[in-house]
Each structure stands twice: as structure tokens, then as C-alpha cells.
A = this chain, B = another copy of it.
Amino acid sequence: MKIGLDVMGGDFAPDAILEGAVDALGQLPSGDRVVLLGDGQKIREKLALMHADPDMFDIVPTTEVIEMSDHPAKAFSQKRDSSIAVGYNMLKSGLIDGFASAGNTGAMLVGASYTVNVIPGVFRPALAALIPNINGSSSVMLDVGINPDSKPDVLLQYGLLGTVYAKYVLGIDNPSVGLLNIGIEETKGSAAVKSAFEMLRESSEISFKGNIEGHHLFTDEMTDVIVCDGFVGNVVLKMAEKFYVVLKSKGISDDFFDRMNFEVVGGTPVLGINENVVVGHGISNRKAIMNMLLQTCDVVHADLAGKIKEALGA
């Protein structure tokens, strides 16, 4: 498999991106190649500085950069030779099998819908984060940031997208699905969540376990998949990540809380588009990039996008 990596995206690009890519090399499945997209000269210079053999990578030089502050749609349309635009074109043409970037998330999402497109039948693509469970497993939470206002049918579909992710990437048989809510009773919650509860319960395609509350997150009471709108999901994810940072700043180290470190997960796949794409934190460092790459490999080898298409009959 060939995994495209945006070398120019993220607050610590290109150095941290290339360091993470080199670190990932030895852990990739044999036969997999990382395709570096970015400033060719900078890439070669940095690899030389690291005494890394450039032949271990495919290098695709690009001349433009979509900055973190750029307007996503405008930048994607205008900067045709940016690493993000070139990456999506290669993904569409089948020259790479997956694409990962810690750059401008908005531009990554725009790029997805402008090139590889949303899977027919998908209402809204979603970002799915892995969150740790105290028993050692991980759960898939979605959406964590694209759709702050998620309508009931969209929430229902998150249940299906998350089920496919948990099944094929995490290897969980018949994943349980929970709806994040403010009480366990089905009468609780916002109008959208109450309707979604009914729809999730009626669905024959997922194993719905009912509502889960804030204090169930990260515990044994957590389901394999957690459905929520992109507003509350984003707040929960950022809050958990910050808890880890605060604990670390206090010198407290713990196996469970250490798994809230975003660097360990690396990135979040974009579910509901025709190809396998993973976006990372803008603040991604060397370790986070390495893990984002490895995670992209997992997603590509599981053919997550293909499995979602199958599940949707698309």
C-alpha cells in the first residue's frame, strides 16, 4: 500500500512530519511505502540531516502550501500545487491508497468533497476519534468536530459508520453503540438526540445499547461506539486531551490517562468519503505524526472506506 503524507501541514511542519515518517518506517507492514508530499529540497535536506535514506520514501515535490490560517475552500481551489491538493489528486487517481495530514483540517475536508467525494447515501462525513477505556480497550466516538448541529438521521448514520470502524479497524465483533446523552432515560436530551434514540433503537444494522452519560465515558460502562454531535464530541475530546496535559504537568503518570495523550492516537479518520483519509492535530509532534501514519496504515489495510460503502450498499 502507498500512504500519502502531507509534509507541509501542521504547526511543526516540515521537520516533525519527516521525523515521524522516519520513525514509522520500521513499523509499517512490509511492502507499504510512505509518499512524502511537499517541498522537495527541504525534504531531502531534512532526510540527509537525519541520515535517512531518501529511497525509503517516494517523494512528490509540491510548490505551494495551504497555511493553517488559509480559508479552506479558497486555498484548496487556488493552490493547485499544494501538498493537500496534489495528495487528493493522487488519491483520486489511485496513485496512493490513503492520505494523512496534520494541516488545515478545513482544507482537508473541502479537498475530500471536491475530489474523492462523499459516499452516495452519506448525509455528512464525520471525524471519528478513538478514546481510551479504563479496561484497556478503545471506543470510537463520532462526530468530534465537523457537524456541530447533527440532525437525528445523521446521528443514526454515525452509529453505522462507527460500527464499521469498530468492526474492521478495531476488530470488535458486533460492536455496541451508545448515544451520548444527559440521562439514561429515553425521554432525556435535546430534540435531535431524542429522535435519534428512537431511530437507533429501530435500526437492525447496529447493536444499540441506549444512552450513555458523561460519567460513563472512559469507563467499563462505555460502548464500543459513542454517537454524538460534533459539538459535544469536540468538547469531550479536547477536555480529555487537556486532562492528560494537566496530569503530566503535575508529574502524574498513569497507563490509562496516558492513553488520552493525542500523540498516542495520532489522528482521526474522515468517515463517509470514498477514500481513506486521516487528519491530525495541528500541534502534532514527531510521535503524533508517527502514530498518525501507522493509524492510516491500519485504516487503509482494513479498507475502511470500502467497508463503509458496502455497509451502505453504495
Query: In the complex the two chains form, what is the Cα distance from A148 to B214 in whole Å?
Result: 14
Given contacts A189-B148, A252-B254, contact A182 B230 (CB under 8 A): yes
B238 A215 Cβ-Cβ under 8 A: yes
CB of A237 closer than 8 Å to a CB of B: yes
Interface-facing stretch out of A27-35, A111-119, A240-248: A240-248
A:205-247 near B, CB below 8 Å: 213-219, 229-232, 234-243, 245-247
CB of A193 closer than 8 Å to a CB of B: yes
Chain B neighbourhood of A231, CB < 8 A: 182, 189-190, 193, 232
A242 B254 Cβ-Cβ under 8 A: no
A182 B214 Cβ-Cβ under 8 A: no
Closest chain B CB from A260 CB (angstroms) = 10
Q: What does the 1/0 interface line of A264-281 toward B look like (CB < 8 Å)? A: 000000000000000000
CB of A134 closer than 8 Å to a CB of B: yes
Query: In the complex the two chains form, what is the Cα distance from A134 to B245 in whole Å?
Result: 12
Question: Which of A217, A231, A256 has the largest number of chain B CB atoms within 10 A?
Answer: A231
Closest chain B CB from A230 CB (angstroms) = 7
Contact of A214 among B214, B217, B236, B254 (CB under 8 A): B236
B241 A215 Cβ-Cβ under 8 A: yes
Interface residues of A (CB under 8 A from B): 134, 145, 148-149, 180, 182, 188-191, 193, 213-219, 229-232, 234-243, 245-247, 250, 252, 254, 256-257
9 tightest A-B CB contacts, nearest first: A214-B238, A215-B242, A214-B235, A148-B190, A214-B239, A182-B234, A215-B238, A149-B190, A232-B232
